[in-house]
Amino acid sequence: MAVMKLAITGKGGVGKTTVAVFLAKYMAGEGHRVILIDADPDANTAMTLGLDSSAQPEPISELKDLIFERTGAKGTGGEFYTLNPRVDDIPERYSVDADGVKLLRMGRLVRGGSGCFCPENAFLKNLLAYLLFRDDQVVILDMEAGVEHLGRGTAQGVDWMLVVVEPGKRSIQTALTVRRYAADIGVHNIGIVVNKFRSEEEFHAIQQQLAGLPVVARFPYLDGVASADLEGTCPYTGTDEQKKLVRDLLAGLNGSIGEPQGTGSASATP
């Protein structure tokens, strides 16, 4: 299996983190070096990985002293800094290991008007780019909704952008929006993961509305995932059923499954 860089996005609550953790755990179990990047400031990938609250990685964006030192912004009031700070030691130093999955937490990008640059953002962007362009490990990006913040340079390093949808129009709308942005920033491949569906009817209803976006994987509603969340444990335990879901997803990336069928769908004639 080729080493892969995957970014996972979608509306809040659809199951991005769940899918990211399934993928990460599976790949680590297969002997890959895996780095999982929590890039959703409002989420908690560590918790889904089953990490104790005392064992969570420090958000990189909060390492102000280090960032100011590395970017050379120190002493200039943040006015001057390099866009290429050294980052190669960061993954080792600031990730936390969860059974072979290295978790790195990005923290919050500093938001501002368009073209907002600041040392923190330069540092985070450079770190992401560094991780995405290394070819000795699997990188899984657990993102917030949307891809705007990803930026062209980073997006080009991602092999697949997976968009998770659940039964519900709003998550499908988000997927359609992602498609528009993705082309602009140079994402190569977009694949939909249909998550939490409870029947074939529900799956097909979602598929109909995807306007031709390829479905690369199906994750049904799983009682085990819901109960793990209640208990605060990792939903991926490596059961045969779970492994098959991930294997099918990875197979879907080599040839998407479940293309819209029939002639009546909106996708057939854009």
Q: Which residues bind Mg ion (CB under 5 A)?
A: 16-17, 43
Closest distance between ligand ADP and the C-beta of residue 220, in Å?
Answer: 6
Closest CB to ligand ADP among residues 13, 238? 13
**Cα angle value 2/33/27 (rounded, 5°):** 65
Closer residue to ligand ADP, CB minimum distance, 25 or 196: 196
Please report, as ranges, the residues that interact with ligand ADP according to CB under 6 A. Answer: 10, 12-18, 43, 195-196, 219, 221-222, 225-226, 229
Name the minimum Å distance from CB 90 to ligand ADP: 24
The nearest distance, CB 48 to ligand ADP, in angstroms, is: 6
51, interface contact from Mg ion, ligand ADP, none, CB < 5-8 Å by kind = none
SS3 assignment, position 183: helix
226 binds, among ligand ADP, Mg ion, none (CB under 5 to 8 A by kind): ligand ADP
Which of 259, 195, 240, 200 has the alpha carbon at shortest distance from 221?
195
What are the residue ranges of helices labelled H in the chain? 16-29, 45-48, 64-71, 90-94, 119-133, 152-155, 169-185, 200-208, 223-231, 240-252
- 3-state DSSP: the chain helix, strand, coil percent, rounded to 5? 40, 15, 45
Nearest approach in angstroms of CB 213 to Mg ion is 21
- Alpha-carbon distance of 261 to 244, in angstroms, equals 24
Cβ distance to Mg ion smaller for residue 87 or 194: 194
CB of 206 to ligand ADP, least distance (A): 13
| 17/154 with CB nearer ligand ADP | 17
- How many angstroms separate the CA atoms of 73 and 198, rounded? 52
Q: Could you identify the residue written with the tokens 């939909």?
A: 192
